[in-house]
C-alpha cells in the first residue's frame, strides 16, 4: 500500500476507518497506562481522529503522525483551530490547542520527535496495514518508542476472507507473537462489536471483535 493509496482515500473521502465519536475503549482504558503527569502522547497514523481531542482534554500534549495534508487540515478545521505551521526537513509540523500533527511519511520520522513522549496510542495504525507490511510498521514503532514507555493499542479481528481491508484483521495471536517481540503485552478487553459496524454487517462478516491491549516497550 503506497502513499498514493491513502492520498486517494482522503481525496475521495473514502474514510470508513474514521470514527465519528471518541473510541469507548480509549475512554475506558486510558488510565491503565498510569502515566505520571500529563506529558506528551504520540498517535501514529492519526488521521483526523477525535480521539486526539480526548487526549488533549486530559491535559496531554498530543503528537500525531499523518501522511495526508487533507486529513490534517480537516482535523484543525473541525476543532475550529488555526494551526501554526513550520517545515522541518521533509515533514511539516502543524500546531494548535495542544495538538501537533506532523505531516509526512511515518517511516521517515526522527526518533528525537518522539523521545519526549510519555505514552502512545494506536487505534487505526496497526490495522491499516496488510499482513505483509504490518511487521515493518511494528519495527518502526518499536524504534521510535523508548524503553519503558506504555501505550494503548486497539485492534479489530474478523475472518479476513470475508472483507477486503483496510481495516485489516489482527488476531490476538498475531499481537502476542509479533508485537510481543518488542513490547510487553497485556490484554485489557475484547468484545464483539459487529452490531455497531453496519459496513461489516452489510458484507455479511460473521463476527467482529475489538480488543484493547496495554503495551510497554521492552
pLDDT of residue 11: 52
pLDDT confidence of 61, banded at 50, 70, 90? very high
The CATH number of whichever domain residue 48 belongs to comes to 3.40.50.150
Domain count, the chain: 1
Residue 174: inside a domain, yes or no? yes
pLDDT of residue 36: 80
Residue 11: inside a domain, yes or no? no
Q: What is the DSSP string of 171-208?
A: -HHHIIIIITTTEEEEEEEEEE-GGG-HHHHHTT-S--
3-state secondary structure of 13: coil
Is it the case that residue 46 has pLDDT exceeding 70? yes
Residue 21: inside a domain, yes or no? no
- 115 Cα distance to chain centroid: 18
pLDDT of residue 199: 87
| Residue in this structure with the C-alpha cell 486530559, named with its chain if needed | 58
Residue 24: inside a domain, yes or no? no
Residue 129: inside a domain, yes or no? yes
Residue 138's domain spans which residues?
A: 38-217
Residues forming beta bridges with residue 185, ordered by sequence position: 215
Closest CA to 107 of 178, 154, 61, 44: 44
The answer to whether the CB of 190 falls within 8 A of the CB of 210 is yes
Question: pLDDT of 73-97, one tens digit each?
Answer: 999 999 999 999 999 989 999 999 9
CA distance 88 to 72: 16
Q: What is the DSSP string of 106-169?
A: GGG--HHHHTTEEEEEESSSGGGS-HHHHHHHHHHHHHHSPTT-EEEEEEEE--GGGS--SSPP
CA distance 123 to 196: 16
Question: pLDDT of 155-170, one tens digit each?
Answer: 999 999 999 888 999 9
pLDDT of residue 164: 85
Per-residue cell: 205: 462478516
Residue 27: inside a domain, yes or no? no
Question: pLDDT of 89-145, one tens digit each?
Answer: 899 999 999 999 999 999 999 998 888 899 999 999 999 998 889 999 999 999 999
CA distance 156 to 91: 30
Amino acid at each position: 500500500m503506497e502513499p498514493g493509496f491513502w492520498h486517494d482515500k482522503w481525496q475521495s473521502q473514502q474514510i470508513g476507518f474514521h470514527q465519528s465519536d471518541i473510541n469507548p475503549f480509549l475512554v475506558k482504558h486510558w488510565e491503565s497506562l498510569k502515566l505520571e503527569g500529563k506529558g506528551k502522547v504520540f498517535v501514529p497514523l492519526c488521521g483526523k481522529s477525535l480521539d486526539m481531542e480526548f487526549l488533549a482534554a486530559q491535559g496531554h500534549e498530543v503528537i500525531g503522525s499523518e501522511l495526508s495534508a487533507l486529513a490534517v487540515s480537516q482535523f484543525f478545521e473541525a476543532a475550529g483551530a488555526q494551526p501554526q505551521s513550520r517545515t522541518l526537513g521533509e515533514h511539516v509540523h502543524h500546531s494548535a490547542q495542544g495538538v501537533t500533527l506532523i505531516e509526512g511519511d511515518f517511516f521517515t520520522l526522527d526518533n528525537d520527535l518522539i523521545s519526549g513522549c510519555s505514552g502512545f496510542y494506536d487505534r487505526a495504525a496497526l490495522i491499516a496495514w496488510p499482513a505483509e507490511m504490518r511487521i515493518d510498521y511494528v519495527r518502526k514503532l518499536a524504534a521510535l518508542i523508548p524503553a519503558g514507555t506504555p501505550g494503548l493499542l486497539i485492534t479489530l479481528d474478523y475472518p479476513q476472507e470475508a472483507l477486503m481491508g483496510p481495516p485489516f484483521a489482527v488476531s490476538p495471536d498475531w499481537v502476542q507473537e509479533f508485537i510481543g517481540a518488542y513490547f510487553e503485552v497485556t490484554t485489557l478487553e475484547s468484545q464483539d462489536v459487529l452490531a455497531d459496524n453496519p459496513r461489516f454487517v452489510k458484507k455479511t462478516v460473521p463476527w467482529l471483535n475489538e480488543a484493547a491491549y496495554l503495551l510497554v516497550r521492552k
